A and B are shown apart, each in its own frame.
Chain A
Amino acid sequence: MPDQLIFAMEVFLNGLMAGVLYALVALGFVLIYKASGIFNYAQGVMALFAAMTLVGIMNGQVPFAHLINATFGTHIHKFGWNVPAFVAIILTMGVMVLLAWAVQRFVMRHLVGQEPIILFMATIGLAYFLEGVADLMWGSEIKTLDVGLPQGINLWIDETTFNIFGYGFFIDNLDLVATVIAALLVTALVAFSQYTKQGRAMRAVADDHQAALSVGISLNFIWIMVWSVAGFVALVAGIMWGTKSGVQFSLSLIALKALPVLMLGGFTSIPGAIVGGLIIGVGEKLFEFAIGPLVGGATENWFAYVLALIFLVFRPQGLFGEKIIERV
């Protein structure tokens, strides 16, 4: 087999893995959008916030330490204990639920019935707010996150492919774990929305707010729940990305990566988020591999968007989205 083809295969596999991670972020968007019609731009910042909180709790950092020190002239930084990863994850989840409640109570409740675009802009404001709070709480320096996930090259794949092609593929263990977790998460979410009472209520709310209200479903509760689930997805995405590339500001930019995934897959479809993520992941890696060197590289920044843009012109609702029907 020619070398180029083997390299392309490796790129393809890595693209699939990256695509899974994109899909993981995109899932959070789809959940909130389906249940409340809100396009939550803050999803990426929520992942950043979750990852920072997790690191902060694990290291026993004092929240708002910088601010307290600057105001009162003290020098506190740490409580002096380390929390095990498992407990820290549960605590962080608690924080995310609290956040979901706060968002619902102080922001979204006041914006019910507004145009979608106003809600979208409100979530941009929320993204800024959360980013500032996260930085104030935990400090803005780059942190490493290690919750015990395996990392580094997968030797088994390396050896097997070396025996077959005479060239060992580089596949990161973390990406494999992420793929498994993403698959589990999707299955769990689908099962949740199909077979549990709360899941059914969630779908009812998504279908029609008023009808759901009239059969006795609490909109408030459902929305808090949806934002909590989105917070959970953000936490998982934050752990994956945080382990991969460190917990830092750029983590919030994965939201920008997830947007074209959503456009491609359709805002309302969970399978769409997965397929869209895979297409974008593979597409941008292959494009960078094949065309990138000819035009100066770093095409990953825009390829996904341009692909989604061209695609949308032909199919405005995305691959799996519901058909858009408009009436006067």
Chain B
Amino acid sequence: MFYREAGDFKTSYTDDSQTFPIKFDRYRYYVVLAVAFGIIPFVINDYWANALLLPFLIYAIAAIGLNILVGYCGQVSLGTGGFMAVGAYACYKLMTSFPDVSMFIHVILAGGITAIVGVLFGLPSLRIKGFYLAVATLAAQFFLVWLFNRVPWFYNYSASGQINAPERDVFGIIITGPNAPAWATYIFCLIFLAVSALIARNLTRGTTGRTWMAIRDMDIAAEIIGVNPLKAKMSAFAVSSFFIGIAGALFFAVYLGAVEVGEVFGIQKSFLVLFMIIIGGLGSIFGSFAGAAFLVLLPVVLKVVGVDVLGWPTDIVAHLQLVIVGALIIMFLILEPHGLAQLWRVAKEKLRLWPFPH
């Protein structure tokens, strides 16, 4: 009825190749942006920001990053936690060394540093494939976490071994530290997420994305038809680590404020982000959003239902959460290997034909 392509005529090539070719999709996208930027900042409070919105925004960036590597380029990585730690510590060192520089620049630079580290640890991917590579990326995970734990220079020789985000502002508005208002931190992360999603979407639609997908589908065949595997794999590692680094920097500076590396950026984090993209949908930007939202919401919902409504002790709910997440992963892999994004696609197909099924 309302979701139609009929009558939506394109008169130029630019129109034809835009990100959302269907009018309804485009308007929906504008509405989402308008709500996210125009309405939520005015109604947000600390609970909503810290329990749901900030983790969702930040994990969505990380999931987009990992999805580029795993979903688009087919290189499975279990080092996400380690790369997020690189972003966080790079951001910390930059924040403390150059206090007067804007946070925007710090976060972007932190992403850049992570990209370099990511390429370094991605080099073996030229020789190693499949889960040999997945295990090899664990080397990055363990080595990086150990490095930040043991080398005092990274945490500025603080006695606790933790890093604490000092108070920094953007255009006079405090973004980090305990005094930052909820709406400011929210907007700050939202800007990064929106720009990341835009970049990722357009990268994956263009030449770069196509070479990634060629490598994913069959790397030898891709090489034979002229895709340079070195360039494709390294660019995937660089772009992916860049986003993951930004997510790590935001996670530390804006969301948590204080970080103990082994606890926050351990292997569990790597798995969490991997689960997000499996549940959300491998090789889909929308899937990254859906997966992040799902796994951020799930513990909160479980806690509300289990602890507050049913009155169970928190440890039982925590264990149940493991069971449910594990079962969901298996279910999604069996029933819908393309995740929530595929459900969304199917729903849209149905909507286009609705109310007539044929």
Determine if chain A interacts with chain B: yes
Chain A contacts of B312 at CB under 8 A? Answer: 70-71
Shortest Cβ distance from B74 into A: residue: A117
Which one of A107, A140, A327 contacts B334 once the chains associate, using CB atoms below 8 Å? A107
User: A252-310: which residues lie under 8 A (CB-CB) from chain B?
Assistant: 256, 259-260, 262-263, 295-299, 301-302, 305-306, 308-309
Shortest Cβ distance from A327 into B: residue: B220
Chain B contacts of A146 at CB under 8 A? Answer: none
Shortest Cβ distance from A130 into B: residue: B326
Contact code string B263-277 (vs A, CB < 8 Å = 1, else 0)? 000010001001100
Chain B contacts of A327 at CB under 8 A? Answer: 220
Chain A contacts of B311 at CB under 8 A? Answer: 70
Chain A contacts of B33 at CB under 8 A? Answer: none
Do B333 and A302 touch across chains, with their CB atoms under 8 A apart?
A: no
Q: Is A8 an interface residue (CB 8 A)?
A: no
CB distance from B226 to the nearest CB of A (A): 14
Do B142 and A305 touch across chains, with their CB atoms under 8 A apart?
A: yes
Chain B contacts of A71 at CB under 8 A? Answer: 312
Q: Is B230 an interface residue (CB 8 A)?
A: no
Chain A contacts of B321 at CB under 8 A? Answer: 132
User: A300-328: which residues lie under 8 A (CB-CB) from chain B?
Assistant: 301-302, 305-306, 308-309, 312-313, 316, 326-328
User: A109-130: which residues lie under 8 A (CB-CB) from chain B?
Assistant: 110-111, 114, 116-118, 120-122, 124-130
Q: Is B323 an interface residue (CB 8 A)?
A: yes
Contact code string B148-187 (vs A, CB < 8 Å = 1, else 0)? 0111000000000000000000000000000000000000
Main SS class of interface, A: helix
A67-B316, A70-B316, A328-B218 are contacts. A316–B323 as well, Cβ < 8 Å?
Answer: no
Q: Is B259 an interface residue (CB 8 A)?
A: no
Do A121 and B138 touch across chains, with their CB atoms under 8 A apart?
A: no
Query: 5 smallest A-B Cβ distances: which pairs?
Result: A129-B326, A125-B329, A132-B322, A128-B326, A132-B323
Q: Can you sample 9 A-B contacts with CB below 8 Å?
A: A70-B313, A110-B334, A114-B333, A122-B329, A136-B323, A140-B319, A298-B146, A299-B146, A316-B128
Q: Is A133 an interface residue (CB 8 A)?
A: yes
Shortest Cβ distance from A136 into B: residue: B319
Chain B contacts of A116 at CB under 8 A? Answer: 130-131
Main SS class of interface, B: helix
CB distance from B128 to the nearest CB of A (A): 5
Shortest Cβ distance from B319 into A: residue: A135
Shortest Cβ distance from A263 into B: residue: B135
Do B330 and A129 touch across chains, with their CB atoms under 8 A apart?
A: yes
* Listed residue (A110, A259, A260, A299) with the most chain B CB atoms within 10 angstroms of its CB: A259
Which one of A127, A296, A298, A313 contacts B124 once the chains associate, using CB atoms below 8 Å? A313
Do B128 and A313 touch across chains, with their CB atoms under 8 A apart?
A: yes
Do A312 and B128 touch across chains, with their CB atoms under 8 A apart?
A: yes
The CA of A322 and the CA of B333, in the complex, are separated in Å by 29
Chain B contacts of A309 at CB under 8 A? Answer: 124, 136, 139
CB distance from A35 to the nearest CB of B (A): 17
Contact code string B214-236 (vs A, CB < 8 Å = 1, else 0)? 00001011001000000000000
Q: Is B54 an interface residue (CB 8 A)?
A: no
CB distance from A162 to the nearest CB of B (A): 35
The CA of A71 and the CA of B136, in the complex, are separated in Å by 44
Q: Is B100 an interface residue (CB 8 A)?
A: no
Chain A contacts of B150 at CB under 8 A? Answer: 295-298
Chain A contacts of B142 at CB under 8 A? Answer: 301-302, 305
Which one of B132, B319, B333 contacts A132 once the chains associate, using CB atoms below 8 Å? B319
User: B321-358: which residues lie under 8 A (CB-CB) from chain A?
Assistant: 321-330, 333-334, 337
* Listed residue (B135, B221, B321) with the most chain A CB atoms within 10 angstroms of its CB: B135
Q: Is A131 an interface residue (CB 8 A)?
A: yes
Do B313 and A256 touch across chains, with their CB atoms under 8 A apart?
A: no
The CA of A301 and the CA of B143, in the complex, are separated in Å by 8
The CA of A306 and the CA of B327, in the complex, are separated in Å by 32
Q: Which residues on B are within 8 Å of A, measured CB to CB?
A: 76, 124, 127-132, 134-136, 138-139, 142-143, 145-146, 149-151, 218, 220-221, 224, 267, 271, 274-275, 278, 311-313, 315-316, 319-330, 333-334, 337
Q: Which residues on A are within 8 Å of B, measured CB to CB?
A: 39, 66-67, 70-71, 107, 110-111, 114, 116-118, 120-122, 124-133, 135-136, 140, 256, 259-260, 262-263, 295-299, 301-302, 305-306, 308-309, 312-313, 316, 326-328
Which one of B132, B146, B271, B313 contacts A263 once the chains associate, using CB atoms below 8 Å? B132
Do A125 and B136 touch across chains, with their CB atoms under 8 A apart?
A: no
Which one of B138, B313, B330 contacts A305 once the chains associate, using CB atoms below 8 Å? B138
Chain B contacts of A111 at CB under 8 A? Answer: 333-334
The CA of A312 and the CA of B134, in the complex, are separated in Å by 12
Which one of B145, B278, B319, B330 contacts A107 once the chains associate, using CB atoms below 8 Å? B330
Do B327 and A125 touch across chains, with their CB atoms under 8 A apart?
A: yes
Do A312 and B132 touch across chains, with their CB atoms under 8 A apart?
A: yes
**Contacts A121-B278, A132-B323, A132-B326 known; 5 new A-B pairs at CB < 8 A:** A129-B323, A133-B323, A262-B135, A263-B136, A302-B139
Do A308 and B329 touch across chains, with their CB atoms under 8 A apart?
A: no
Which one of B76, B218, B315, B324 contacts A117 once the chains associate, using CB atoms below 8 Å? B76
A296-B151, A305-B139, A309-B124 are contacts. A120–B134 as well, Cβ < 8 Å?
Answer: yes
Chain B contacts of A124 at CB under 8 A? Answer: 271, 274, 329
Do B320 and A132 touch across chains, with their CB atoms under 8 A apart?
A: yes
Shortest Cβ distance from A122 into B: residue: B333
Do A259 and B135 touch across chains, with their CB atoms under 8 A apart?
A: yes
A39-B131, A110-B334, A117-B131 are contacts. A136–B316 as well, Cβ < 8 Å?
Answer: yes
Do B76 and A129 touch across chains, with their CB atoms under 8 A apart?
A: no
Shortest Cβ distance from A134 into B: residue: B319
The CA of A262 and the CA of B131, in the complex, are separated in Å by 11
Do B326 and A126 touch across chains, with their CB atoms under 8 A apart?
A: yes
CB distance from A28 to the nearest CB of B (A): 16
The CA of A298 and the CA of B324, in the complex, are separated in Å by 34
A66-B313, A298-B146, A306-B139 are contacts. A312–B131 as well, Cβ < 8 Å?
Answer: no
The CA of A124 and the CA of B327, in the complex, are separated in Å by 10
CB distance from A193 to the nearest CB of B (A): 23
Chain B contacts of A70 at CB under 8 A? Answer: 311-313, 316
Chain B contacts of A128 at CB under 8 A? Answer: 271, 322-323, 325-326, 329
The CA of A71 and the CA of B337, in the complex, are separated in Å by 35
